A and B are shown apart, each in its own frame.
Chain A
Amino acid sequence: MKFDGYDLDAGVYDELFRSDGTPRSHGRDLYETLLEASDDDMNAIGEWVTRSFTHEGITFTVYGDDEADERIIPIDCIPRVMAGAEWRGLARGLEQRLAALNAFLRDIYDSARIVSDGVIPPDMVFGCPQYRIEMQGFEAPRGIWVAICGTDLVRTVDGFRVLEDNLRVPSGVSYMIAIRKATKSAMRLLYRRSRVGAVEDYGLVLRRTLHEMAPEGCDDPTVVLLTPGVYNSAFYEHMFLARQIGAELVEGRDLVVEDGYVYMRTTAGLRRVDVIYRRIDDDFLDPLVFRPDSLLGAPGLLHAARLSNVSVVNAPGTGVADDKSVYAFVPDMIRYYLAEEPLIPNVETYLCRRPEDLEYTLDNLEHLVVKRVGESGGYGMLVGPHASAEERNRFASLLRQDPADFVAQPTLALSRAPCLIDGRLEPRHVDLRPFILSGGETRIVPGAFCRIAMRRGSLVVNSSQGGGAKDFWVLEEG
């Protein structure tokens, strides 16, 4: 295949090429493989990868006006590669960040020293809709509120930055593994040569983490994965992970709480549950504590968790720490709790609740990305440079109406990686979501869910907005 038409941009980091157009040293094998492959071969590989996803039913659900549609995520067959040394540096930064976030959660649901010490304003924490007053005084197992974290990283010419921490129910890890399986078969010779870090044992690592999170004294815990059900957009992932960790995939209606213990309905009667890996939001977990109209959770679940009779992973109330406003304070948390400098910086963030930040945002809308603090998945977002004047005006009036509901960030030139688009090699913007697990110790498998903005020039990588994904290889040296 030829790279003609693969244009490099001095302001954008390319994952495969240096700015002078030569391949990076860890990407040389991939570059040569692509160069040697015929167009027909590569297209056949691309089609095969897509077909394997269709046949295996690796789908996510998109809800339209009328009905739910089972779709497959567009998969690109060309892996993104990273040198092992660089990965290890990132992993240390991710570990550091999660340690600080867990310390923050322990603190704010206890004495909230960070607030009384003036590091973060009280209304940012206690006024955050994701702060669950019901969780005050709760003691998370091992003090770990977030055992499973998916952190969104982006790379610019200045290096990696954290774009977002996903601390509630991060998704995408099943795609990491499924895409690896498909890409590995499609690029078998290159894979064999490349000494790629394995992601396939993520299930075992997750299982170990969940076992470590079991209530004290419980040596052989019964673990379940709690799903909202088959109509949830991430149901494939729930099923996939349940299988990987050998857990029952339960819905709220399968659970019964009695005398402060949680049980599931089995064919032989009620069986006690020790660890719940929940994939439903806080609001729906327990109608006695959160939303009373929820049918997805189990009444009394929180009571059982408070008694430490069951571990709920991640703990309810973690959403406050991945709120888009609180995000701006994570570097301060690292300094405050760990007395360290952040290894991976944040993206500069303007909190529109501050008059000076609001003014700056309104004056620079055409350069900024504006996000609603409570939204995710690419919804409720304005990408200034790509928006029409009309959209910008609409957002400006929304900003004036409720500034505290918004944050703004500079539009980042996300790095690009080669993708097979309509039979040609073209650069597309990508991000990276590694998964960090924290139980008895912190573990990170060398891989990530790498999302792609499929449209040329687009920066939106979210699957719900038509984004795709590709494999991500961490290459060991030697």
Chain B
Amino acid sequence: MLARSAESLYWIGRYLERASHLARLMRQQTESLVDSPVRDIYFGWHRIYGTLGRRPHTGPLDTEGDEYYTLADSFTLADDLTFEATMPDSIRNCFSLARENARQVRHRISAEMWASLNRPYLRLRDMEIQDIWASTPEQFYANVEADIDTFRGVSSSTMYRDQGWHFIRMGSLLERAELVASVLGAQIAAVRLFAVPADAYWTSLLRLFHAFEAYQQGDGLAIDAGRVLDLLVSDPHLPDSLSMSVLGLHRELSAIGDGPDRTATSQARSQVDHMSDLLRFVWPRTSDAEGLFAEFRIAGRRLHDLVTETYFDYPVVTRSARIGEFDQ
């Protein structure tokens, strides 16, 4: 398929995964505003901003305030992460960018996919934080998640399984792998900062990834940080586990097939192997989980570069260009 179309499809996958992920974090965070202690709320904000590798503009996380300030800060931070035009990862921006990419490849996706992306985009485009804050913000975020789930479902049932499908999947899986590693790293950093081994912080992490029930199926009632992380890293059945994402990346890359340069293709495949090795062989033995997650994310970014160089932006040396070089 056309390289530029493939790239747009890949980015649709990435942006929607990012929006979905942030909506999930925000739903949990806005739920916690109802009944959680102020300290837990601050923990939640630290984890979210840590995940994104950012600091909020006004720095309200520097000091913990009382109830009143906590809620006021939360309003500002939620606006920043949901609607702020200058925040590249805000939910609205992710939706706009996914939709803009989809607009360029509408002939490559099903009409149903386009409609299921365009409708929530139109709704989000005209909303402001006041519109969601006055009633139940958590429901708003739940709806965003549902919209993206709908898009995934519609894609799954209507899209022709050509390369385009695999590029959307690859974008989605790579984004997920990076984001989950990022949340896990941010969790460890936030726990260290707050210096309280609260079970609630770990159960909220499990819930974030739909993993609480899976964890319960294991032995004992006690919440053990090591076991929680182990589940999220290497469980072979959990959709959000890092292992599942890497397995998916293997599958998609092999379905996509070779790019024009075999060497570049095999480099991309080796990079997925490297990510897999980090989880299979380094993770069980590491004493620096945070460092490993950082390394895993760097590996993910490298994979992104390799995919781009292999399929989207490979060098084309034309005869005229070669003649030009010779003349020089």
Chain A residues engaging chain B, CB cutoff 8 angstroms:
54-57, 230, 235, 239-240, 242-243, 248-251, 253-254, 256-259, 264-270, 300
Contact = CB atoms under 8 A, between A and B. Distances in A.
A259 B119 CA distance: 46
Those 9 A-B pairs whose CB atoms lie nearest each other, nearest first? A269-B260, A243-B107, A242-B107, A267-B311, A265-B3, A239-B106, A248-B2, A57-B118, A267-B6
Given A248-B2, A254-B2, A264-B2, A269 B103 contact: no
Given A55-B119, A56-B114, A265 B319 contact: no
Interface stretch (B37-45, B172-180, B251-259): B251-259
A230 B3 contact: no
Nearest to A54: B122
Interface string B1-32: 11111100000000000000000000000000
Contact of B2 (A54, A257, A266): A266
A410 to B, nearest CB: 43
Interface of B: 1-6, 100, 103-107, 111, 114-115, 118-119, 122, 163, 167, 256-260, 311-312, 314, 316, 318-320
Nearest to A258: B318
B304 to A, nearest CB: 15
> What's the dominant secondary structure at chain B's contact region?
helix
B316 A256 contact: yes
Contacts of A242: 107
Nearest to B261: A269
Contacts of A258: 318-320
A265 B114 contact: no
B1 A248 contact: yes
A256 B318 contact: yes
Contact of A239 (B107, B259, B312): B107
Which of B107, B256, B257 has the largest count of A CB atoms less than 10 A from its CB?
B107
B103 A57 contact: yes
A91 to B, nearest CB: 29
A258 B323 CA distance: 12
Nearest to A242: B107
Contacts of A300: 320
Given A56-B115, A256-B316, A266 B106 contact: no
Nearest to B109: A243
Given A56-B118, A57-B118, 5 more contacts: A56-B114, A239-B104, A267-B6, A267-B259, A267-B312
A274 to B, nearest CB: 15
Nearest to A229: B104
A254 B312 CA distance: 10
> What's the dominant secondary structure at chain A's contact region?
mixed
A259 B320 CA distance: 9
Nearest to A225: B107
Given A54-B122, A57-B118, A248-B1, A230 B316 contact: no
Contacts of A56: 111, 114-115, 118
A251 B4 contact: yes
A226 to B, nearest CB: 12
B145 to A, nearest CB: 21
Contacts of A250: 2, 4
Given A56-B115, A57-B118, A254-B4, A267 B103 contact: no
Given A230-B103, A267-B311, A57 B114 contact: yes
A55 B114 CA distance: 9
A242 B2 CA distance: 13
26 contacts: A56-B115, A57-B103, A57-B106, A57-B114, A230-B103, A230-B104, A239-B103, A240-B106, A240-B107, A248-B5, A249-B2, A249-B5, A249-B107, A250-B2, A250-B4, A253-B4, A256-B316, A257-B318, A259-B319, A264-B2, A265-B4, A265-B314, A265-B316, A267-B312, A268-B259, A269-B314
Nearest to B312: A267
Contacts of A235: 103
Contacts of A264: 2
Given A239-B106, A243-B106, A265 B119 contact: no
Contacts of A57: 103, 106, 114-115, 118
Given A57-B114, A258-B319, A267 B3 contact: yes
A248 B320 CA distance: 25
Contacts of B314: 265, 269
Given A56-B114, A230-B100, A248-B5, A268 B260 contact: yes
A264 B118 CA distance: 29
Contacts of B106: 57, 239-240, 243
A270 B100 CA distance: 26
B311 to A, nearest CB: 4
Nearest to A263: B316
